Amino acid sequence: MKLATAIVDGERRLGAITSDDTEIALLPGSLDDVVRSGTLESVRDAAAQAPTIALAGIRLAAPLSRFNRDILCTGWNYWDHFEESKGKREGQDPAEAPKHPTFFTKGPDTVIGPADDIAYDPDLSAKWDYEAEVVLVIGRDGRDIPEEQAWEHVFGFCVANDVSQRDLQRAHGGQWLKGKSIDATMPLGPWITTTDEIDDPYGLQIQCEINGELRQDASTKQMAFRFERLIAELSRGMTLRAGDVLLTGTPSGIGNARDPQVFLAEGDLVVTRVRGLGTLANRLTR
């Protein structure tokens, strides 16, 4: 299924998107509750019987609005991205390629909807950058999860752009939290696609366009650490909770690594898409 959060008459509504992405069925409850409750089958039955309306003209919010904790994130998870940034991290280059996934977090107040404006503020940062990513949504609590059981704990996938402020990212002791946590800067959505809808999670094509120019174009088969490895390592000694959101890394093509560097500016349109998971379109606006 493709499950969304729609804004109807000013209220958040659970919605099921049709297979061709053109219509939506509005259902009782919230997507936050569905992810946490294990009631997907009853939602599937309700959606099969519910009338649908045109998706065009319906405003979609970020799929989730209640977060257990900060947004969980993965850095340097595509080797081409790791290599492209060598010597451009302003003294923060690791001595060698990581042997384990690199994890960090960003504040939940960063999250915006799939068509919402990104809250651009040039006084906060002069180096606004884009990072298209596949997102895993955890659907079952677990700790010390073996790789072979990882998918039992995943509810589904969605799309995010980890918009980052590179100068803030470098300025605070090498920790990424501040440069990743500016309010209203991370588009998430457009819906959650459940795992049973995806035949091959390593055949997902990730793209990012800035004002119509393709900047990132890669496949999840290029990941340094596979989805199962991320879940196994992150859950080691640390409980993952249903409703947790995990960004899984961005491929090459970021603005900071280009020569010359190219950063986002007011008015830029950032389009982020993952084939099979949907598209985000967000404009930087003061």
Is residue 18 included in any domain, yes or no?
A: yes
Do 40 and 16 lie in one domain? The reply is yes
Number of helical H runs and strand E runs in the chain? 5, 19
Do 230 and 269 lie in one domain? The reply is yes
Domain that includes residue 52, residue range: 2-61
Cβ atoms of residues 162 and 133 within 8 Å: yes
Is residue 82 included in any domain, yes or no?
A: yes
Structure tokens at 249: 């890394």
pLDDT at position 91 is: 62
pLDDT at position 286 is: 97
| CA gap 4, 12 in Å, rounded | 10
pLDDT at position 174 is: 79
**Average of per-residue pLDDT across 39-50:** 96
| CA gap 72, 57 in Å, rounded | 32
Query: Among the residues of 137-278, which ranges form H helices?
Result: 166-171, 227-234
Q: What is the mean pLDDT of the chain?
A: 95
Do 201 and 109 lie in one domain? The reply is yes
Residue 232's domain is classified under what CATH number?
3.90.850.10
Do 83 and 11 lie in one domain? The reply is no
Do 57 and 101 lie in one domain? The reply is no
Cβ atoms of residues 139 and 121 within 8 Å: no
The rounded percent of the chain whose pLDDT value lies above 90 is 90
Is residue 66 included in any domain, yes or no?
A: no
Please state the domain count of the chain. 2
pLDDT at position 187 is: 98
pLDDT at position 79 is: 86
pLDDT at position 90 is: 63
Q: What digits encode the pLDDT tens for the residues 91-149?
A: 667 667 889 999 999 999 999 999 999 999 999 999 999 999 999 999 999 999 999 99
Is residue 253 included in any domain, yes or no?
A: yes
| CA gap 120, 89 in Å, rounded | 23
Distances in Å between the alpha carbon of 83 and those of 20, 80, 133? 38, 5, 18
Do 187 and 261 lie in one domain? The reply is yes
pLDDT at position 88 is: 63
Final residue belonging to a domain, choices 40, 61, 82: 61
Final residue belonging to a domain, choices 38, 61, 84: 61
Q: What digits encode the pLDDT tens for the residues 50-101?
A: 999 999 999 999 999 999 999 999 999 998 887 886 766 666 676 678 899 9
Do 138 and 38 lie in one domain? The reply is no
Do 79 and 28 lie in one domain? The reply is no
Do 266 and 244 lie in one domain? The reply is yes
| CA gap 80, 200 in Å, rounded | 21
Do 10 and 145 lie in one domain? The reply is no
Do 41 and 95 lie in one domain? The reply is no
Structure tokens at 265: 């500016």
| CA gap 153, 174 in Å, rounded | 32
Do 52 and 89 lie in one domain? The reply is no
